Amino acid sequence: MKDLWQRYIARNAGLKLISLLLAVGLWRLVALDPITEVAMKVPIEFRNLPENLEIASANYTEAQVRLSGPERLIRHLTSSDVRAIIDLTGVQLGEHTFDLPSQRVRAPQDLQVVQVIPGQLQLSFDTRMSRTVGIHPRVKGTFAAGLRVAKVLAEPPSIMISGPQQRVQAVEAATTDPIEASGVMDRATFVTEAYISDPLIQVVHPTPIRVTVIMERTGESTEHQ
């Protein structure tokens, strides 16, 4: 019996004690850190879009992802830790349907992707196009009797835009943030930004726009908007 004790129990007792303590600690950690789930919205990342194409639909830009894992990890999870990825390699003009399974979601280790919504999405693609459009400033205000807006000048007078061909062709002009010109008696210059309301069209080189409002005399009070 003494030999049995020395050979199988007392031998490497220190290592065995450490292993036992680690096992107990791990069990306690698991017991105190239950598995939980969370649902969060994350951006859909489109990769490898051909240079001559643009995404011409904006039905889905986010996915709702349900994840399961230890509560300590779920508690510190942010949307930047999770990515839903669609590979657009070789895509062509027209409409195409893409699957978005859990395997295409990148999440931290030890977390499991339970569900992705939508599981599929349909995108349309158009040729990329750039063109120059004029800027139409938006001026509003109430002016003194006998004054009215005679002219509104924008500098630069135009900007370059880029996006899906059909959408770019449909743009008549860019506009600016509203300019409050109440109280201007002669002329005044305001600095603002130009934009296109279509979210799929970008201003190629955004730059501040200087808008000059020039007044003239009339015979009555004028409100301009």
pLDDT digit string (tens) for 138-170? 999 888 888 989 999 999 999 999 999 999 999
What integer pLDDT is reported at residue 221 of this predicted model?
47
pLDDT for 20 beyond 70: no
Mean pLDDT of 202-218: 93
Mean pLDDT of 167-193: 94
Please give the Cα distance from 83 to 62 (Å, whole number). 10
Query: What values do phi and psi take at 131, rounded to 5?
Result: -160, 165
**How does the average pLDDT of the chain come out, rounded?**
85
The secondary structure of residue 111, as a DSSP letter, is: -
pLDDT for 224 beyond 70: no
What integer pLDDT is reported at residue 75 of this predicted model?
84
Complete DSSP assignment for 12-78: THHHHHHHHHHHHHHHHHHHHS-EEEEEEEEEEEEE---TTEEE---S-SEEEEEEEEEHHHHHT--
The secondary structure of residue 102, as a DSSP letter, is: G
Mean pLDDT of 44-54: 93
* Local confidence band at 29 (pLDDT 50, 70, 90 cut-offs): low
pLDDT for 91 beyond 50: yes
Widest CA span of the chain, in angstroms?
A: 120
What integer pLDDT is reported at residue 25 of this predicted model?
55
Q: How many of the other CB atoms lie within 10 Å of CB of 221?
A: 12
The lowest-confidence range among 56-60, 61-65, 93-97, 137-141 is 56-60
Which residue, 215, 222, 223, 219, is CA-closest to 151?
215
Whole-structure pTM value: 0.69
Please give the Cα distance from 126 to 136 (Å, whole number). 27
Tokens of 10: 């007392």
Tokens of 34: 């239950």
Buried b / exposed e across 89-124, counting CB within 10 Å, b at 16+? eebeeeeeebebebebbebeeebebeebebeebebb
